[in-house]
Amino acid sequence: MTNYNKDKIKKEIINLLPDEPGVYRFYNNSGKIIYVGKAKNLKRRVRSYFSSSDKLNMKTQLLVSKISDIKYTVVDSEQDALLLENNLIKEYKPRYNILLKDSKTYPWIVIKNEPFPRVSTTRRVLKDGSIYFGPYSSAQYAHHLNELIHSLFKLRSCNLKLNKKDIEGGKFKECLNWHIKKCEAPCIGKISEDEYNNNINYIKSILKGNVAPLVKEFKTKMVEASNNLKFEEAEEYKEKMTILNSHYNKSLIVQPTLTNIDIFSILFDKREKNSVAFGNYLRISNGAIIQVLNFSVKNHIASREELLSQLIIYVYKTLKETGYSPNKEIIVPFYPDMTNLIFEFPEIKEEHFHIPLKGDKLSLLDLSRKNAQEYMIQSLKQESLKNPDENKNISVKMLKRDLHLKEEPVHIECFDNSNTQGTNPVASCVVFKNGKPSKKDYRKFNIKTVVGANDFASMYEVVTRRYSRLLEEGESLPQLIVVDGGRGQLDFAYKALCDIGLEETIPIIGIAKRLEELLKPGDPNPLFLDKNSPSLKLIMQLRDEAHRFGITFHRAKRSKGQIKSELDDIKGIGESTKEKLLQKFKSVHRIKNANLEELAECIGNSKGRIVYNYLQSYKNKSDID
């Protein structure tokens, strides 16, 4: 890869990746997937490939040289990323997944070809008649699955060569694992070969992902045992059901209860100058996500139903080239227009479409919608990089839409209070213009009318002072005010606006830290924006900057108070001398511990002796007290 292409990919793709778990896919010039990887943090992981070639081995450098495009899928957890990566590697068999990690080193789960088979993980596939499941892209996941199996069934783990003759002849006298309930002890005849092999069949179903029938059977046996008053046996079946459900219900990426489904989601960017639809497609095969596509199209169509129909046609035409045909069940957020769909794909019927209201299918639709939103955000960011003058206010425009404002909040101000148990109360006001900090317009406030720690009254004071002054001086007012705090701070800030007469002029919202919910005056229901939306990120940036600016001012004031109490009482020492001492020693504590020579070197012999004698007497007095 030339430096130009490398820099272009970093600028246009990597810098726009989200800091979330997911799976990334590298494509070559022919549009073929050459590598699939998982990441706890997509941006950090993908960036590592392009940071420094000195840290990469030769095979990885060769991979990077072939990359011409990067695509990704956002998921909810590291486990989901692991499972999706495994699905996609099996589906596409990318060349560099094999080159970078030889297939023999992938972990497998093996059911040994022997009487009373053992089940374990291995990295060696032998032609010995054993049954192998895998490969798994993570040893951690393979071992976790193996532990799950052994927690459900008490399988043997010993190396004994068992046969029916030795077992019936009593060759094996005892089984230690049986005594600690870790084995059914086939060697001493505690379980028959037919019963043991029945458990092995259960295990095969689990490894194939076919869990639902097994859970149903366990439930039937649990009820049957309970009816026969075999409560311990019923409890065992209940525990097995719980283990299976807790393992397989954690992930949306693998849902054994689902079969073959197509899932479509679509979002619309309704900006003034253009209207674009962003979509996502997930293909479910045998309960696992095996394909992910993102797409966008300019909206020149009258209705959203027609647009969804066109997007479905586009996806199916694309898939047709690779041999895929539409599944019989299609999950959508709303029903598409069927006119063009039936013309292009006569095999698709109206009854194939479903809008889920709850359960796993709704969760998968939400996952698809989340990826469509990530794709929309990335596309808008790319557009803003290509046309910075035209699109620099994307966050501001989206904030107008999300908060239903009358005009774009080009000028936003955010307030925060800060105090230590009621002492040194201060407040800060930060100003953003065109979505960026305007530091020359920042303001600090010493709280004048409030005694003690009263954040509500402090907020009322600073909002009143700020906008009364802007009105008096004829300065421009913001299009949005953000208050860092909960309902109380917001209500008092809104009361201040009402008393000034600006409640209809300036919209105001509060942002609560715990769930990042947005509050509006008089509205009991908080507004929740997507954590990845540019709107919420801009508000959070405002809140964090106001907090930083306020804390810095508060600490400076608190430090100044401490300095005043100990240095200002020294006769003959003025402001310039104190400043020299603090620049040299950085704190009053260090000044106290300095010797006479160090003080004299900083401020001269005469003043050095005055400071030294005073601080020593002050120190001795404190020791006596």
Sheet containing 261-270, strands listed edge to edge, beginning at the edge strand earlier in sequence:
288-298, 275-285, 261-270, 329-331, 353-354
**387 band by pLDDT with thresholds 50, 70 and 90:** low
* Class for the domain spanning 397-556: alpha beta
Q: Which CATH number fits domain 568-624: 1.10.150.20, 3.30.420.40, 3.20.20.70, 3.40.50.150?
A: 1.10.150.20
Of 505, 239, 9, 138, the closest CA to residue 146 belongs to 138
Topology alike, domains 261-382 and 397-556: yes
Q: What is the pLDDT of residue 560?
A: 59
pLDDT exceeds 90 at position 497: yes
Question: pLDDT digits over 336-367, tens only?
Answer: 888 878 888 888 888 899 999 888 888 889 88
Q: What gap in Å lies between CA 372 and CA 364, rounded to an integer? A: 12
Question: pLDDT digits over 119-156, tens only?
Answer: 998 888 788 889 887 666 567 667 877 887 887 788 88
Delimit the domains of the chain by residue range. 3-28+36-95, 105-208, 210-253, 261-382, 397-556, 568-624
DSSP states of 299-313:
--SS-HHHHHHHHHH
Of 181, 183, 190, the closest CA to residue 159 belongs to 183
Residue with tokens 């297939």: 103
**478 band by pLDDT with thresholds 50, 70 and 90:** very high
- Which has more confidence, 179 or 577? 577
Q: Which of 169-173, 351-355, 389-393, 540-544 has the lowest mean pLDDT?
A: 389-393
- Please give the torsion angle defined by the CA atoms of residues 370, 79, 247 and 358, in that order, rounded to the nearest 10 degrees: 0
**620 band by pLDDT with thresholds 50, 70 and 90:** low
* Class for the domain spanning 3-28+36-95: alpha beta
Q: Which of 380-394, 428-442, 531-545, 551-565 has the highest mean pLDDT?
A: 428-442
- Give burial (CB, 10 Å; 0-12/13-18/19+) of 290: middle
* Class for the domain spanning 261-382: alpha beta
Pairing of strands 119-122, 518-520: unpaired
Pairing of strands 33-39, 108-111: unpaired
For residue 510, what are the β-bridge partners? 483, 519
Q: What gap in Å lies between CA 187 and CA 116, rounded to an integer? A: 9
Question: pLDDT digits over 18-65, tens only?
Answer: 888 889 999 988 888 999 988 888 888 888 888 766 667 777 888 888
Cis amide bond preceding 94, omega within 30: no
Q: What is the pLDDT of residue 13?
A: 77
